[in-house]
């Protein structure tokens, strides 16, 4: 389990004295992104702290990291100079490298973050969504599932992200949006959605640990009710998601019959619609005040008839639900087209008349390729270039 493995950064020397070659310095351990338990576990032995002092120091540093958002130990003004220097010798508060930052004409911001060599993920800030604005985070690099309409699905999984790497996306976005301290009144970042790259329920332990940190009231302090986890339908993990995180649930439904869903969302062959909806009925904490969101991507001539809108209403009967109609976001080589605006409205009308809120999600950040399902990291391009290079050599 790599949950407790801190990200290490190597210090680089700027000068080299050939007469006195430098002793190899130990890697700095990154505290930013750690859980309380991880933080205590590294601080106690380093400073020789007893249990009481460990708890006290952990809370203190926790607040500086997640409440104030400092990136230098020197800024921790209520900690002695000696201890701050001790911290800086062994630890860091570094953020992942921001390889690219794009701002859309509609204010959407897309970040490409490098977690390590070849490990790049995208996350997207969307203003005006949720209470103030939502950050869409990735849970994996790529995805093992192959939903036919999703760009991320065309990228082979590189790996699960650690909890620290998920939290690092939030820290990087807060830095960029100037969202510190976390308890400021005019927050722009109010919601988190796990709708970036990857299937969060295939990485649930790390996602749950990240949600614990993000929702902690002495830190980033985003309410669990404003954190939504979207799944393609990993039925056996859904109850655990509810029990462990109290997060809001979103389901990528996209079809109203198994034959079509088998094709669009292939995990349906394992967990068909009836089983998926049963798990939604039993989702811990679901109620009229905490509805399950059903995402439905509008694909021209594939899943967008009036009949399917009526079938959708019938299927969701008895589930506290809201329906999110997503205009399909095309990507190069994608095999579908987006339904016409009129068709989407007609579909929405049927769903609305049945009493469901069904906002049509306005495509955001299309100009910078930041919309749903368009996320795909550079690692694939790299792999493709590696393949070309290998082919050229052999
Ligand atoms: N793997 C999870 C979460 C990430 S996908 C899931 O599938 O739920 C986030 C949302 O974007 C899902 O509802 C997904 O179906 C949708 N999506 C994927 N590709 C899309 C595209 N090209 N256009 C519109 N929505 C898309
Ligand atoms: Fe993976 Fe979700 Fe894309 Fe399907 S829609 S391929 S589960 S990221």
pLDDT band, very low/low/confident/very high, at 394 (cuts 50, 70, 90): very low
Asked whether the predicted pLDDT for residue 389 surpasses 70, the reply is no
Question: Which residues make beta-bridge pairs with 190?
Answer: none
Asked whether the predicted pLDDT for residue 382 surpasses 50, the reply is no
Which residue has its alpha carbon closest to ligand 1 atom 19?
Answer: 373
Question: Are the CB atoms for 34 and 61 separated by under 8 Å?
Answer: no
Q: What is the pLDDT of residue 377?
A: 56
Same domain, 168 and 227: yes
Which among 62, 79, 94 is the end of a domain? Answer: 94
Q: Is residue 213 part of a domain?
A: yes
SS (H, E, C) 167-186: HHHHHHHHHHHCCCCCCCCC
Counted domains in the chain:
2
Beta-strand relationship, 140-141 and 159-160:
antiparallel
Which among 35, 70, 94 is the end of a domain? Answer: 94
Q: Token pair for residue 127?
A: 């203003």
Q: Is residue 322 part of a domain?
A: yes
Same domain, 78 and 155: no
Q: What is the pLDDT of residue 284?
A: 96
Which among 94, 119, 147 is the end of a domain? Answer: 94
Please report, for residues 136, 151, 211, 274, 303, the alpha-carbon distance to residue 242 in angstroms, rounded to integers and kept in the order given: 19, 28, 12, 19, 29
pLDDT band, very low/low/confident/very high, at 153 (cuts 50, 70, 90): confident
CA-closest candidate to residue 151, choices 369, 362, 367, 331:
331
Question: Are the CB atoms for 263 and 291 separated by under 8 Å?
Answer: no
Q: What is the pLDDT of residue 381?
A: 40
Q: Is residue 391 part of a domain?
A: no
Question: Are the CB atoms for 103 and 124 separated by under 8 Å?
Answer: no
Q: Is residue 393 part of a domain?
A: no
Q: Which residues line ligand 1 (CB under 6 A)?
A: 149-150, 195, 199, 230-232, 252, 295, 297, 326, 328-329, 372-373
**Placement of tokens 């809001």 in the chain:** 248
Element (H, E) at 349: helix 341-353
- Owning domain of residue 89: 1-94
Q: What is the pLDDT of residue 254?
A: 98
Catalytic residue numbers read 122, 372
Q: Is residue 139 part of a domain?
A: yes
Helix axes 273-281, 235-245, angle to 10 degrees: 20
Question: Are the CB atoms for 129 and 361 separated by under 8 Å?
Answer: no
pLDDT band, very low/low/confident/very high, at 15 (cuts 50, 70, 90): very low
Q: Is residue 366 part of a domain?
A: yes
For the chain, what is the mean pLDDT? 87
Q: What is the pLDDT of residue 129?
A: 84
Question: Are the CB atoms for 249 and 231 separated by under 8 Å?
Answer: yes
**Number of neighbouring beta carbons within 10 Å of residue 149:** 23
CA atoms within 13 A on the CB side of 72: 4
* DSSP codes joined into one string, 268-330: GGTS-HHHHHHHHHT-TT-SSSSPEEEEEEEBTTTS--HHHHHHHHHHTTTS-EEEEEEE---
* Distance, CA of 234 to CA of 218 (rounded, Å): 32
Q: What is the pLDDT of residue 356?
A: 87
Is pLDDT larger for residue 285 or for residue 62? 62
pLDDT band, very low/low/confident/very high, at 110 (cuts 50, 70, 90): very high
Q: Is residue 109 part of a domain?
A: yes
Whether residue 153 has its Cβ less than 6 Å from ligand 2:
yes
Same domain, 200 and 74: no
pLDDT band, very low/low/confident/very high, at 376 (cuts 50, 70, 90): low
Which residue has its alpha carbon closest to ligand 2 atom 4?
Answer: 147
Q: Is residue 392 part of a domain?
A: no
Asked whether the predicted pLDDT for residue 6 surpasses 70, the reply is no
150 Cα nearest atom in ligand 2: 3
* pLDDT tens per residue across span 26-45: 689 999 999 999 999 999 99
Same domain, 187 and 330: yes
* pLDDT tens per residue across span 73-107: 999 999 999 999 999 999 999 999 999 999 988 89
**Placement of tokens 């079809």 in the chain:** 255
What's the pTM value of the predicted model, to 2 decimals? 0.88
Same domain, 85 and 105: no
Same domain, 197 and 48: no
Please report, for residues 105, 125, 241, 318, 381, the alpha-carbon distance to residue 254 in angstroms, rounded to integers and kept in the order given: 29, 24, 21, 19, 29
Q: Comparing 145-159, 225-239, 297-311, 372-386, which segment has the lowest mean pLDDT?
A: 372-386
Whether residue 123 has its Cβ less than 6 Å from ligand 2:
no
Q: What is the pLDDT of residue 249?
A: 98
* CATH number of the domain bearing residue 303: 3.20.20.70
Asked whether the predicted pLDDT for residue 7 surpasses 90, the reply is no
Question: Are the CB atoms for 249 and 286 separated by under 8 Å?
Answer: yes
Same domain, 111 and 82: no
Instruction: Assign 40 to helix, strand or coil.
Output: helix
Same domain, 24 and 40: yes
Whether residue 232 has its Cβ less than 6 Å from ligand 2:
yes
Is pLDDT larger for residue 158 or for residue 378? 158
* CATH number of the domain bearing residue 24: 1.10.150.530
Same domain, 107 and 88: no
* DSSP codes joined into one string, 220-261: T---GGGEEEEES--HHHHHHHHHHH--EEEEE---SSHHHH
Asked whether the predicted pLDDT for residue 183 surpasses 70, the reply is yes
Element (H, E) at 378: helix 378-393
Same domain, 289 and 175: yes
Same domain, 372 and 339: yes
Same domain, 10 and 141: no
């Amino acid at each position: 389990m790599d949950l407790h493995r801190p990200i290490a950064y190597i210090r680089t020397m700027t000068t080299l004295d050939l007469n006195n070659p430098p002793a190899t310095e130990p890697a700095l351990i990154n505290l930013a992104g750690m859980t309380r338990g991880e933080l205590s576990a590294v601080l106690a032995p380093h400073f020789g702290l007893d249990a009481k002092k460990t708890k006290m120091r952990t809370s203190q540093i926790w607040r500086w990291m997640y409440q104030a958002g400092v990136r230098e130990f020197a800024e921790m003004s209520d900690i002695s100079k000696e201890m701050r220097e001790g911290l800086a010798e062994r630890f860091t508060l570094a953020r992942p490298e921001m390889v690219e930052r794009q701002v859309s004409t509609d204010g959407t911001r897309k970040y490409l973050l490098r977690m390590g060599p070849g490990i790049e993920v995208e996350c997207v800030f969307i203003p005006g969504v949720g209470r103030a604005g939502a950050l869409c985070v990735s849970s994996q690099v790529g995805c093992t599932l192959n939903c036919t309409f999703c760009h991320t699905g065309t990228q082979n999984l590189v790996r699960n992200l650690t909890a620290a790497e998920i939290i690092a996306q939030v820290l990087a976005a807060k830095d960029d949006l100037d969202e510190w301290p976390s308890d400021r009144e005019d927050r722009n970042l109010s919601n988190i959605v796990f709708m970036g790259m990857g299937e969060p329920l295939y990485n649930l332990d790390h996602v749950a640990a990240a949600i614990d940190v993000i929702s902690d009231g002495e830190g980033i302090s985003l309410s669990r009710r404003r954190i939504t986890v979207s799944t393609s339908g990993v039925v056996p993990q859904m109850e655990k998601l509810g029990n462990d995180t109290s997060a809001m649930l979103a389901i990528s439904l996209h079809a109203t019959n198994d034959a079509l869903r088998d094709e669009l969302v292939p995990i349906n062959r394992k967990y068909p619609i009836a089983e998926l909806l049963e798990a939604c009925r039993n989702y811990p904490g679901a109620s009229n005040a905490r509805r399950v969101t059903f995402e439905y991507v509008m694909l021209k001539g594939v899943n967008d008839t009036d009949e399917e809108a009526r079938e959708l209403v019938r299927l969701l009967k008895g589930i506290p639900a809201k329906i999110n109609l997503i205009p399909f976001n095309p990507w190069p080589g994608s095999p579908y087209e987006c339904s016409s605006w009129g068709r989407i409205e007609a579909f929405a009308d049927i769903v609305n008349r049945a009493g469901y809120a069904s906002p049509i999600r306005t495509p955001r950040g299309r100009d910078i390729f930041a919309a749903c399902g368009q996320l795909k990291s550079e690692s694939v391009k790299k792999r493709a270039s590696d393949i070309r290079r290998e082919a050229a050599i052999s």
